[in-house]
Structure 1
Amino acid sequence: MPLPPSDPSRQFRHRRTLEVQAFERADGLWEIDARVTDVKGRSVFVGRGIHPAGEPVHDLMLRLVVDLNFNILQAGSESRSVPYPGHCEAHGDVYARLVGLNLMQGFRHAVRERVGGAQGCTHLTELATVLPTAVVQSMVGEVIHPVGDGDEKPFQLDRCHALVTTGEVVRLHYPRWFRQPGANNLSQNLPPVNSPSSAGVPETAPAAPPLSS
């Protein structure tokens, strides 16, 4: 469906930007830098006083170090701009608790348990929840090769409307895995992506490398 038409009288008031970058390291691990910023379209009263238009109210970062099985080995956060300095970031870097989790196995539920609510920062916690699919996209073509020629069903099938195994895209591009509509298929019992094991990943690890611009 098309977007609802924009009203010509509308005026810009707020922009939230989410950015995720992935970096492959020489040691075979990957660093994931995630950032959220909030910018106002006009000066507003925030926290201690008037916050100028165009300057970030929030500028927050998470960094994860993950292995090729999506296990989190290191994690940390940095708050570069907050409305209540000295308080917003005074959570003792609770995001180190993400160490030991696997991005593909119950990650979002575990995030809520370990850092949700008053344990951490609302915006950093929300940012963490976008990381599973972002990291998968980062590794497609590099670590994950979803060609569908082997004996294992490509991880992406039956995970979105376009790639349902009874659909036209799968019929054309993944014919081995195509199922006639109405036929019995495997979409009811999806395995975890890559089915990685988190065995051997410690619950604690050194803090993530310092964040830098």
Structure 2
Amino acid sequence: MPLPTPAPRRPLHHRTIDCVGYERDDGLWDIEGHLVDTKTYDIANHDRNGIAAGEPLHGMGLRLTIDLDLRIHAVAAATDHAPFHQCPEVADHFQRLVGLTIGPGFRGKVRERLGGAEGCTHLVELLGPLSTVAFQTLLKARTTRRKDEGKADEDVFSLLNSCHALRMDGPVVAREWPDYAVPAKNRAGG
């Protein structure tokens, strides 16, 4: 369903986030993301002698190399465009992510290692969509492994009640996994 027609307006800021998951030949996966911010107008900037309309204000990339358990083995961070000369200096700090596992508690561990002056707001923000892409990229391989180990139910458990469509008292769970369905509750408004 498309968004409703907006009021008359003009664009000022454009952020593009692009994330791709890759399977490597060595049994690991690369999850790579890029963030680019542009303005529709020129902005004053001391370090870059101004930033022209359409020129990237921010242009950054982050690559996580992970295994089937979503454990981070390697990190590459790069800042190609930033408003200040000091911004690229924190790229090496992202090595602090090596050894972490993407899953419950991940964001808190990221904040401990890269919060505030220890990180880059934009690269840290990029970890959110990268985490989702990591999960989606490895979904088939992780499901196959769990089936081989006789633990296929773990996939279902992780999905149940994770969103409105996959609520245990909803029609999708009743249809796809009837053994886990619970009777529908009376819901206000529907």
TM-score interval, normalised by the smaller of the two chains:
0.7 to 0.9
- Cα RMSD of the aligned pairs, angstroms, is 2.2
Q: Could you say if the C-alpha distance between residues 152 and 143 of structure 1 is closer, same or farther in structure 2, counting changes exceeding 3 Å?
A: closer
Q: Which of 131, 150, 170 is matched with 2:173 structurally?
A: 170
- In structure 2, the partner of 1:117 is 116
The verdict on how the C-alpha distance between 1:153 and 1:126 changes in structure 2, with shifts beyond 3 A counting, is closer
Note the 1:1-213 alignment, pairs <5 A.
3=3, 5-8=5-8, 10-48=9-47, 49-85=49-85, 87-91=86-90, 93-144=92-143, 150-152=152-154, 154=156, 155-181=158-184
Q: CA deviation at 1:162?
A: 0.8
Distance 1:68 1:47, change over 3 A: farther
**Seq. identity, %:** 38
Q: Using a 3 Å threshold, how does the CA distance of structure 1 residues 56 and 92 change in structure 2: closer, same or farther?
A: closer
Residue 46 of structure 1 and its aligned partner are, at CA, apart by 3.1
Per-residue displacement from partner, 1:119-142 (whole Å, max 9, x unpaired)? 011111111133222211122234
Q: Contact 1:31–1:64 at 8 Å: present in 2 too?
A: yes
- Specify the SS of the correspondent of 1:144: helix
| Contiguous gaps of at least 5 residues in structure 2 | 186-190
- In structure 2, the CA distance between the partners of 1:172 and 1:7, relative to structure 1 (3 Å rule), is same
TM-score between both structures, scaled by the size of structure 1: 0.76
Tell me, yes or no, if the aligned pair for 2:77 and 2:91 is still in contact at 8 Å.
Answer: no
- How far residue 52 of structure 1 moved from its aligned partner, in angstroms, is 1.1
Counterpart CA distance in 2 for 1:68 and 1:156 is: 18
| Alpha-carbon distance between aligned partners in 2 of 1:98 and 1:77, rounded to the nearest angstrom | 11
What is the number of residues matched between the two proteins?
179
- The answer to whether the 8 Å contact 1:28/1:67 transfers is yes
SS in 2 for 1:22: strand
**Residues 75-121 of structure 1, C-alpha deviations (whole Å, 9 max, x = no match):** 12011111112x11112510000001000131100010001111011
Does structure 2 retain, via aligned residues, the 8 Å contact 1:153–1:177?
Answer: no
State the distance in 1 between where 2:29 and 2:98 align.
14
Structure 1: gaps of 5 or more residues: 183-213
**Which of 1 and 2 has higher RCO (CA within 8 Å, sep 6+)?**
1
The SS at the match of 1:51 is coil
Structure number with the higher helix fraction is 2
Q: TM-score under structure 2 normalisation?
A: 0.85
The 3 A distance-change label for structure 1 pair 47 and 178 is: farther
CA distance in 2, matches of 1:69, 1:47: 45
